[in-house]
Amino acid sequence: MAAQRLITPPKLRRGTLRTVALGGLGEVGRNMTVFEIGGKLLIVDCGVLFPEEEQPGVDLILPDFSYIENRLDDVVGLVLTHGHEDHIGAVPYLLRKKPDIPLIGSTLTLAFIEAKLAEHRIKPYTLEVQEGDVEDFGPFQCEFVAVNHSIPDALAVFIRTEAGTVLHTGDFKMDQLPLDGRITDLRHFAKLGEEGVDLFLTDSTNADVPGFTTPEKEIGPTLDQLFGTSNRRIIVASFSSHVHRVQQVLNAAHAHNRKVAFVGRSMVRNMGIASKLGFLDVPEGILVDMKKVDNYPDSEVVLMSTGSQGEPMAALSRMANGDHPIQVGEGDTVILASSLIPGNENAVFRVINGLLKLGTDVIHKGTAKVHVSGHASAGELLYCYNIVEPKNVMPVHGETRHLIANGKLAEETGVPSDRVILADDGTVVDLHNGVAQIVGQVECGYVYVDGSSIGEITDNDLKDRRVLGEEGFISVVVVVNRQTGKIISGPDIHARGVAEEDQVFKDIKPKISRALTEAIQDNKEHTTHQLQQIVRRTMGSWVARKLRRKPMIVPVVVET
């Protein structure tokens, strides 16, 4: 992988195409790539990353826009390859900075993002495209290619510039029996390969999985069997944008005479849009409002819910905690019809354990075929490399292990190792005279959304939160006389989350008093901050030795 140290890239040469990923490299999510030539910028995708346990309190993680923040007037368009949150979720936060950036995408993708932007009171400029369309955006000419994914209407984009061509796959797989009959257009890929692909940006998420990804249709028989043997309610959890998975649930419910209620605001919104646009085939009379499910016997109800990743506020997590209007219990069947995003494992297992304690049967991909991936496995990627025959390859969308595995596949098909670019977020790659090279690194950190604040929470703040959550909090208040060096009041010590009674601190109080008195007598020029640091060090070393803990210590020294 590229070095993490910051290397200022050179000024962009004339006739050179610059590529900078602001997210999606070394992580599953936050996908965003910026292309630059002739003083203009084209962006492909703008998604979010969901927080892990070591980021307590964080709602979402955005790409770092600082690289382009002062150049938003140069952005000629934002191409959205498909409608999943890890590719469109950060669009509202970018458009807050410049609402008139044109959004380019397919019918369903634009419908999803327009609904999301409406909640942010943003009316976007949009251009709807479909496979085969060719559109010019400043110095970029974009041709769109149909690809199959776990959401309908996904597109790859082929970008022509004076410096060369780029094929960006977005997320894709090569399901030969897709529910909607829309396969990844390998003939189109081959045509573009004959024209010449100078830089191939390929989805890496499943690059370390041998063979071919299982077709979506193979889930159908499993769902049919589970629906046929369950005598009570069935709750299926999936991503709120996974139209194909919801379609399979509707089909199984219809076959077994069950009603379906969508649970979760995003699920209701997205499936309403997909149905209206014809991407979701809803059998007549099958849908019911969540508020009316109690009017039907448990054996005739299916709840299609959000929360498959253990999100604390999602419907399924709240059901597992018993604080949702829908109370699950003995005999109910819960089906987790999704994969585990890396980092979410513990949260999902907590939900599973909570559901099991309530007496439900929990089915997941580890126990039954209730999920297949939406990403191309190694065998499919090999096919693509042989069809496209790219001159340079830059694996995208995945953790480090995925990117490296994808790069090795490219080399196996004949791409020279020095033409395989393994980059990090912020790595600057220039394409010039048919050769792609790393030329620098720009700052590209995490931007945290925490309630109403965006980018105000830092890694140090999160470290403090982890300390508070894991080690507790101790405050020490002391009033001292600056002139005499005597302690007027205190030390008063109060602890929270340390699991010790306050009386345990009686032995440290005289040590704090003595340390402060000696410090003032030795040097009356000590600042209040310096005195507080003396309290912190004295308290901290004692707690570490005596209690074997490292809590957050907040010293307050008041001078009279």
**364 noted as active-site residue:** no
Confidence (pLDDT) at 558: 75
Are residues 77 and 44 in contact, defined by beta-carbon separation less than 8 angstroms? no
Q: What is the mean pLDDT of residues 74-91?
A: 94
Question: Does 242 carry a binding-site annotation?
Answer: yes
Provide the CATH topology of domain 459-559. Answer: Ubiquitin-like (UB roll) (3.10.20)
pLDDT at residue 237 in the model? 87
492 is in an annotated binding site: no
User: What integer pLDDT is reported at residue 454 of this predicted model?
Assistant: 65
> What's the pLDDT at 464?
54
Choose between 204 and 554: higher pLDDT: 204
Q: Is 371 annotated as a binding residue?
A: yes
134 C-beta neighbours (distance < 10 Å), count = 11
Q: Is 452 annotated as a binding residue?
A: no
Looking at the predicted structure, is the pLDDT value of residue 265 above 80?
yes
State the DSSP code for 501: -
**SS3 at position 431:** strand
Cβ atoms of residues 301 and 235 within 8 Å: no
Do β-strands 32-37 and 40-44 pair in parallel, antiparallel, or remain unpaired?
A: antiparallel
* CB-neighbour burial class of residue 324 (10 A; exposed 0-12, middle 13-18, buried 19+): middle
Indicate the SS3 state at residue 108.
helix
Give the pLDDT score at 3.
42
CATH architecture of 216-363: 3-Layer(aba) Sandwich (3.40)
Please tell me which residue in 203, 208, 361, 424 is annotated as part of the active site. Answer: 203
Query: What residue segments make up the domains of the chain, in order of their start?
Result: 17-211+374-454, 216-363, 459-559
pLDDT higher than threshold 80 for residue 4: no
- Provide the pLDDT for residue 174: 94
pLDDT at residue 155 greater than cutoff 70: yes
Average of per-residue pLDDT across 50-60: 62
The one catalytic residue in 244, 364, 375, 402 is 375
E-strand spans in 424-484? 427-432, 435-441, 447-450, 453-454, 473-480
Q: Which residues of 379-414 are buried (b: 16+ CB within 10 A; e: fewer)?
A: ebbebbbebbbbbbbbbbbbbeebbbbbbebbeebe
Per-residue pLDDT tens over the stretch 453-479: 565 556 665 555 555 555 667 777 878
**Contact between residue 21 and residue 33 where contact means Cβ atoms under 8 Å apart:** yes
Q: Is the pLDDT of residue 560 over 70?
A: yes
Beta strands across the sheet bearing 333-336:
259-263, 301-305, 234-237, 333-336, 361-363
Tell me what the pLDDT averaged over the chain comes to: 85
Our answer to whether residue 502 is catalytic in this structure is no
d(CA 537, CA 282): 65
Q: Judge whether residue 190 has pLDDT over 90.
A: yes
Q: Is 181 annotated as a binding residue?
A: no
> Is 120 labelled a binding residue?
no
- Give the number of C-alpha atoms closer than 13 A to the C-alpha of residue 335, restricted to the C-beta side: 26
- Annotation-wise, does 377 bind a ligand? no
Q: How much is the pLDDT for 53?
A: 57
Known binding residue 285? Answer is no
pLDDT of the residue at 72: 96
Q: Is the pLDDT reported for residue 295 higher than 80?
A: yes
pLDDT at 312: 58
CA distances from 550 to 2, 55, 99, 530, 554 (A): 35, 19, 46, 20, 12
As a whole number, mean pLDDT of residues 199-227 equals 92
pLDDT at 57 over 60: no
Residue 334 pLDDT: 86
Q: What class does CATH assign to 17-211+374-454? A: alpha beta
Q: Is 397 annotated as a binding residue?
A: yes
502 annotated as a binding-site residue: no
- Output the CA torsion 129→135→137→142 (10° steps): 90
pLDDT for 353-381, tens place per residue? 878 888 888 888 777 888 888 899 999 99
Does the annotation flag 375 for ligand binding? yes
Classify residue 250 by burial, with Cβ atoms within 10 Å: 0-12, 13-18, 19+: buried
CA distance 398 to 127: 28
Residue 59 annotated as lining a ligand binding site = yes
Query: Considering only CA atoms, which of 209, 121, 179 is closest in space to residue 399?
Result: 209
Residues 6+ apart with CB under 8 A from 27: 49, 398, 399, 425
DSSP 8-state class, residue 375? S
Q: What percent of the chain has pLDDT over 70?
A: 86
Least confident of 39-48, 180-189, 343-352, 528-537: 343-352
Mean pLDDT confidence for 530-540: 77
User: What is the pTM assigned to this prediction?
Assistant: 0.81
Q: What tens digit of pLDDT does each residue of 391-406 get?
A: 999 999 999 999 999 9
Spatial neighbors of 364 by CB under 8 A, at least 6 apart, are 335, 336, 352, 370, 371
Residue 489 has, within 13 A of its CA and on its CB side, a CA count of 8
24 pLDDT above the threshold of 70? yes
pLDDT for the residue numbered 2:
44
